[in-house]
Amino acid sequence: MKRIKAIVVVVLSLCLIASFSFAEERGSAKEAKALLDKAVALIKAEGDKAYPKLQDKNGAYVLKDLYVYVFAIDNAIVKVHPYAPGMIGKSWLTLKDANGFAFVAQMLEGAKKNGKGSVDYSWSDPKTKKVEKKSAYYEKVGDVVAVSGFYK
């Protein structure tokens, strides 16, 4: 019986350690906002010449599970997405989340009206393979919108 208790304690401890490690790999809301601010400054300085730097998934604009993507403000044509390069050149204007919410259209509307903001939506988490709550900060930079999202 003591051996079973010891095994249970070890397994639970490993699970707890794993959950802390998993949490550390997650980017926070503060980190997502800082990453977006950094990307916006780059786009303002370099225009579309900034895109290769933003596209580099091993570069300075990817942190933990956070990254920046960019789409055109008029038609939501994707300009940058480090983890979905096949999406570049495609419109996300009608893209909806798992609950049917048109979150990209919401970002476009907010960017046109206020210049920046945030939006909450539900999206499949590539780590857990489950639909999770996600938030994204966005900001209009010229004729594009830069976005950085994080899982809650």
Q: Note if the pTM is more than 0.85.
A: no
Q: Which residue has the tokens 């998993």?
A: 22
For the segment 42-73, what is each residue's pLDDT rounded down to a tens digit? 999 999 999 999 999 999 999 999 999 999 99
What topology is assigned to 28-151 in CATH?
Beta-Lactamase (3.30.450)
DSSP notation for 7-75: HHHHHHHHHHHHHHHHHHHSPPHHHHHHHHHHHHHHHHHHGGGGHHHHH-TTSTTEETTEEEEEEETTT
Question: In the chain, where are the structural domains located?
Answer: 28-151
Percentage of the chain lying above the pLDDT 90 cut? 80
Taking only Cα atoms into account, the Rg of the chain, rounded to an integer number of angstroms, comes to 18
